[in-house]
A and B are shown apart, each in its own frame.
Chain A
Amino acid sequence: MAATLAPLERAEIENQVLEVVRELLRRRGQARLAEAVRPDSTFEELGIGSLDFVELMARIEERLEVRLPDELADTPAAWVNAILEEAELKPRKLYRITPPREDALPEPVAARTLIDVLVQHAEADPGRLQIHLLSEDSGEGITYGRLYEEASAIAGGLADLGLRRNETVAIMLPSSAEFFFAFFGVLLAGGIPVPAYPPTRLERIEDYVRRQILVLRSAAVRFLISFERIRAVNELLRVSVPSLIEVTTVAELRGSRVRLGAGSVKPATTALLQYTSGSTGVPKGVVLSHENVLENLRGIGAAVEVRPGDAVVTWLPLYSDLGLIGCWLLSLYYAIPITVISPLDFLKQPERWLWAVHESRGTLSAAPNFAYDLCTRRIPAYQLEGIDLSSWRVAVNAGEPVLALTMERFAERFRPFGFRAEALLPCYGLAESTVALTMPPIERLPVRDWIRREPFEKHGLAERARPGDPAALCFYSCGRPIQGQQIRVVDENDRDCPERVVGRLLFRGRTTMQGYYRNPEATAAAVRADGWVETGDFGYIAGGEFYFTGRIRDPIVKAGRSMSPLDVEATIGSMPGIEPGAAVAFSAADPLTGAERLVVAAETRATTQEEFRRLEAEIVREVDYLLGMPPDEVFLVEPDVLPRTSNGKIRRNDLRALYERGRLRARGRPPWLQLVRLRWENFGPLVALGLRRSRVAVGMRLTRWISAVVAVTGGAWARLTANPRAIRRAARWILRLHAQRWRLRGLEHLDGAPCAVLVANRSGVHDPLVVAAGFPERVRFAERAALNGLDRAHAWLLEPLVLGFRENCLTPAAGALRERIARALADNCLVVVFPDSPVGAPVARCRYRIDAFQAAADHSAKIYPTAVRERALHWHASDRARARKVTMVIVRRPLEAGRIEDRFLLREKVREAIGEYHA
């Protein structure tokens, strides 16, 4: 394989290796030596000792993501050889994607909410794989059953925290299993999920946090589901968003033992808030109902003709509408598998996307234009060896203007690997229309329209250009509106434009958003009284199909001309020396004079003055060539300085505002300074939060200590006096300390019964304490398993109530247990049997030892099914420690043990009786 390797790859690896060596030398202050490093200069010459080898190796391994052999070379060139050999032997991935199944689940046509869809699939085939999650070199499969189960655990956790119906919960997680669980967890709990984007680059942290605060405030989120690693960000958000009660993690939510199933949700209920990526000012949350989402999914499904055997592949972030609805929810709805890669992995190694298509036999995938461009330019040839893209039948290109060059090059580059140009599908959509609005028919070569530049720029006319016109502009057809949607293109006076005349695009239909969340002004501005919605985009209609030409505020307006900045940006963004895609052109008022100026800003890694001058000159020349006028100003800035949206587009309007206020800076602040600035601004609230936390922590610890002391005292007293009253009193104190209340129902059934066996489920940790505190003194626990999960001191307190505790046996022998229960029944005790199952297990999964039933039958005692349910009492302010819980204990009517012959059947009946209450 090394022979077939393009020389370029070799050169690149060589460069990287040399760069690592140079870095090391520079760090040691040997800059001169660093300049002189060549592939064949020996390490000895460079004075790199054996100790540095390990360091160097580690760095190279880290940077190139390879593993070097232990045998060490003595020149960088030898290392390069070793790496190339290694690439050849690279082990295959461990996780394998099971290919999509031909046996389809029925389309959930009757489903009226997303929850219906999940429940229907999860019940029809819980073992069916829904999501393949690929990470670096491993993967994970998530089935419908697991998705439902985990989601209900998270819903339980949210209910535990006090989430109420229709409150918003932001989900700020990277592409991981947790995201999927959290999304449906919020829905099951009756909340509204708000996908928010997690921070990706430390260099932009300040911009990110400020932006995120705006989003969370606008959404009035109650809870934020985040992850542990970004604690600094979490805290800042926590103090800056007044509505936010708690920042939590999936692990914490899962820790709750409550499970919530599907409740009843109306189709008009909000399914989610989709924040527009916000290339314009204040972020706006698009409110989408279940009906919107389902209608849109059905529309897309009809357009791409989803069939069994389909499989979706996506690397799109899950907070974007295209990734979330257009990919994941689509695959969920049609019960086809989806393979998910993280966006960061894709950006690092674009070939992972294509390999995922190959391995999963993917048929549907979507991405914005830049992704296709990235694949064309950045994937080295040797990474594609053996790839087969013939299964790919729909490659949606949406979310960004579609560029002719990209589409052509992509189709051409990947044709040898089985990719068909017919698969490319330029589409148009926006969050306000859920996700998709217009789509061309599938299995058709993308339709291009060449139009003349002059009339287009001057009068907004899309006249066909003569073939070979060098200045012609090219636009792709985005097809017709999907089923249930209508579009119109209108001029300034709201009159319908004729064919081939550029105007504003309006749409209406069943998948139209409900409005912007808590923003009636913006809603009124976008949604007109007659139901038509402004898209803010320009385009024209030709042959019944829509051609997108640009956003409303985008055009560069200067000297009476309105020009599209797209070409300029694409050209400058691909210039060597400029960060890929990091260029923007806009017209703005001069900060001093107010005159209209054409400004170009671009990010570069260049450091020297000469390079700056060279780049500037080149940019001026390019712009002059493309637009016919030179830019008035060129800004070259450090990478990561220009403000961006969540999906990495430059926020042109914010940039313009910065420019007009004269605040555009050439270099970014270092991350630590950004964090310090943010912290300084929120100094007071942060300190207050810290104090409150520590107070709560101290309070919790005190509570534990005091209750432990109470328990030990009570336990000792009970042991000394052999009187269970002390236990009862101590238990009551402990429950009071933990703010746990209890209610007992049906105790009257026990009146007059000399002895009884109570079979209970276990709902919360403190259930045994409640039993000890609330029941008559003659109550006893059948076995030690009743104390599972209790604090050690509490378990010690209750131990004397366990039958045969003096025999000091952890689990009594079966025969002995039966005897003990019989003896206790003869002593007129109430024997409580808790399951030997995890605390909070659903009743159907509560497991009881048969001995209690046997003993009850022998003694002809009655068995009382007892339902226990612990729940949060009322909504609490902000401190978890103050959460008040109430435990309900309901003793139900007894079953006659003697009458039912089969004790196994009896056990089943009792379980049913407890379960009845819980249902």
Chain B
Amino acid sequence: MLSARESFRRHGILLTGANGFLGKVILALLAGRFPDFGQLYVLLRPKRRLSPEERFEKEVLASPPIQAILDDKAARQAIGRVRVLAGDVGQPGCGLDEETLPALAGQVDLIIHCAGLVDFYPPVDESFQSNVDGVEHVLDLARALGAKLLHVSTCFVCGEADGLVEESEPILGFYPRRKGPNDLGFRHDREIRYMRERIREAYAAAGVNGSARRPRELAQRLSDLGAQRAAQWGWTNTYTYTKSLGEQIIAGADDVEWAIVRPAIVEAALEFPFPGWVEGGRTAAPLVMMAVAGLRHWSIREDAPMEVIPVDLVASGILIVAALLLNGRAERVYHLSTADVNPIYFGPLVRMLHREYRRQAAVNGARFRPWRWLPAGVRVLSPEQASARGRRQQQVLNRLQSLVNGLRKKLQAAGLPGEQALRNLSARLRSAGLRIMIRDQALELYRPFMYDNRFIFEAENIRTAWAMLGEEDRRLLPWNPEKIDWRRYWIHNEVEGVRRWVQNEPGRK
């Protein structure tokens, strides 16, 4: 039997990315449920004239998840014991100054690394800086401090997939199009060298040195570069590509004890700190909002599950693995996902969200919109059909708009009234066109996850790990994705959470 409480009490932990969506929940969970933890360091980067301490105050302590646990006195004291370190994982040596590093030696037993850049298609150098160089620096730090390393990655490093993704897949030399375990076509060090070369070339070609402000042209070029390279090997986007490279750096290290935790799409909290806590629009929030705003035409694979995982389960999973790792009993890879025990498929999901839209439309139906009464279901289109449809809509709107503009000119010339009305109409047509464009772009961005692939992530290791915990720890660190009631979760946690915390809209009672 293994005690998580005991492990956290006796050891020092360093957390990166504490100001992120996931980092804050981990912090809250640790302080709220294990207030007697030994020592906790938080690595934060100074930003815009804010010192790390101020940032911790403003961005972490003041945030709702931390606020939610502060009622408890023990938790309050625990948070007070957190020590903030100024540093930046993008810099060599994690940007720690000379005094801090020796002071830390022997104090930190475990680094939980959950800082990363989660944009899908950023300029590839930015992505490299945080997801590849960052990992290297954190690994060096762990080596220097003699600490173990828990690296937070993502399930989607598997790239293209159709069906189950195994946890035992070898990490080193992995690329999604690999044919078998012995295919040695990919070496991460060679790949990283190659990409750095390309990035340097792109900068040289644009005549920009590293420090100057980057012109938009160059940013676009770098973004394309990453996207192309990722697609070549079969990764779904630059994010998963760089994340996988980061994992391979860690997997290549044999002098540091490590474990990799791969959450699926991290979504609104189930219970902790409170139901529905969610932050940032990087998750599936745009999709959810489009669905409950009434989008009817989807290009999805109906039999593919939506691999999401509530943020509190992720935090709890990370702490479970942390406890195991501190006791030297962790496996190498942990998937934190739901679909292998409790899948929610895209077909039922979008229908459910559409029903929710209609229900709400009926409730707030103050304006007269008779077409709502028509029986309208969700229609599934192929991406080609969907984009053709978008193009057609754009075309019609464009034609209409030019028609209206022409008419307006005529009226103006003839000195007739009604010009202002036409101007308004034209503006509305234009904005409708823009909305369609934005919608289609968003759908295109999610296409690899909804249509091209089918992901089910095996989450066997975390189950085994959870079973190793004691009774009390299992209560404090739940791992129970099989118990999620998806209907309740999507409507009450996700949709309301996104409304409340992402869109800043007061939640409906």
Contact = CB atoms under 8 A, between A and B. Distances in A.
Contact of B343 (A99, A125, A811): A811
B225 interface: yes
16 contacts: A51-B403, A70-B402, A92-B217, A96-B221, A96-B224, A123-B185, A141-B232, A145-B233, A810-B343, A810-B345, A837-B163, A837-B164, A842-B180, A844-B180, A847-B458, A849-B164
Contacts of A847: 163-166, 458
Give 10 nearest A-B pairs by CB, closest first. A844-B180, A847-B164, A836-B164, A50-B406, A904-B168, A836-B163, A837-B163, A838-B162, A813-B341, A126-B185
Contacts of B167: 904
B16 to A, nearest CB: 30
Given A98-B198, A837-B164, A850 B458 contact: yes
A127 interface: yes
A842 B482 contact: no
A92 B221 CA distance: 11
B369 to A, nearest CB: 29
B165 A814 contact: no
A850 B402 CA distance: 61
B179 A845 contact: yes
B163 A50 contact: no
Contact of B168 (A143, A836, A842, A907): A907
Which of B162, B228, B406, B456: most chain A Cβ within 10 A? B406
A260 to B, nearest CB: 13
Given A72-B402, A141-B232, A814-B463, A849 B163 contact: no
A94 B227 CA distance: 12
Contacts of A863: none
B186 to A, nearest CB: 7
B58 interface: no
Contacts of B487: none
Nearest to B429: A70
Contact of A141 (B177, B228, B463): B228
A807 to B, nearest CB: 13
Nearest to B343: A811
A845 B177 CA distance: 10
Contact of A844 (B181, B399, B460, B482): B181
Interface in A60-90: 70-72, 74
Contacts of B191: 127
Contacts of A51: 403
A467 B454 CA distance: 75
Contacts of B456: 811, 836
B221 to A, nearest CB: 6
B339 A811 contact: yes
B217 to A, nearest CB: 8
B409 interface: yes
Given A98-B228, A814-B460, A127 B179 contact: no
Contacts of A124: 185
A612 interface: no
B7 interface: no
A59 B79 CA distance: 68
A694 B158 CA distance: 44
Contacts of B91: none
Interface string B141-184: 00000000000000000000011111110000001010111000
A54 B179 contact: no
A737 to B, nearest CB: 26
A53 interface: yes
Contacts of B409: 72, 74
A126 B187 CA distance: 11
A813 B339 CA distance: 9
A838 B163 contact: yes
Contacts of B177: 126, 145-146, 149
Contacts of A72: 402, 405-406, 409
Nearest to B483: A813
Interface string A834-846: 0111100110110
Interface string B407-440: 1011000000000000000000000000000000
A141 B402 CA distance: 37
A70 B164 contact: no
Given A813-B482, A814-B463, A837-B162, A127 B168 contact: no
Contacts of B460: 814, 850
Contact of A848 (B164, B231, B342, B463): B164
Nearest to A94: B224
B472 interface: no
Interface in A794-853: 810-811, 813-815, 835-838, 841-842, 844-845, 847-850
Contacts of A848: 164, 166
Contacts of A815: 341, 463, 482
Contacts of B345: 810
A54 B399 contact: yes
Given A847-B458, A907-B168, 14 more contacts: A50-B407, A53-B402, A54-B399, A94-B224, A98-B225, A127-B229, A146-B177, A811-B340, A813-B341, A814-B341, A814-B459, A814-B460, A814-B463, A814-B482
Contacts of B406: 50, 53-54, 72
Interface of A: 50-51, 53-54, 57-58, 70-72, 74, 92, 94-96, 98-99, 123-127, 129, 141, 143, 145-146, 149, 785, 788, 810-811, 813-815, 835-838, 841-842, 844-845, 847-850, 904, 907-908, 915
B119 interface: no
B97 interface: no
A810 B348 CA distance: 12
A844 B399 CA distance: 53
Contacts of A811: 339-341, 343, 456
B248 interface: no
Contacts of A837: 162-164
B458 A835 contact: no
B505 interface: no
Nearest to A847: B164
Contacts of A54: 399, 402-403, 406
Nearest to A902: B168
A95 B456 CA distance: 33
A125 B406 CA distance: 57
A71 B405 contact: yes
Contacts of A141: 228, 231-232
B440 to A, nearest CB: 15
B183 to A, nearest CB: 8
B401 interface: yes
A149 B221 CA distance: 28
B179 A842 contact: yes
B57 interface: no
A99 to B, nearest CB: 7
A813 B480 CA distance: 11
B72 interface: no
Contacts of B163: 785, 788, 835-838, 841, 847
Contact of A145 (B185, B399, B407): B185
Contacts of B482: 813-815
B271 interface: no
Interface in B333-350: 339-343, 345
Contacts of A94: 224
B402 A57 contact: yes
A814 B340 contact: yes
A346 B402 CA distance: 32
Nearest to A53: B406
B201 interface: yes
B342 to A, nearest CB: 7
A129 B232 contact: yes
B302 to A, nearest CB: 12
Interface string B204-237: 0000000000000100010011001101110000
A124 B183 CA distance: 10
Nearest to B193: A103
B313 to A, nearest CB: 15
Nearest to B165: A847
Contacts of B164: 785, 835-837, 847-849
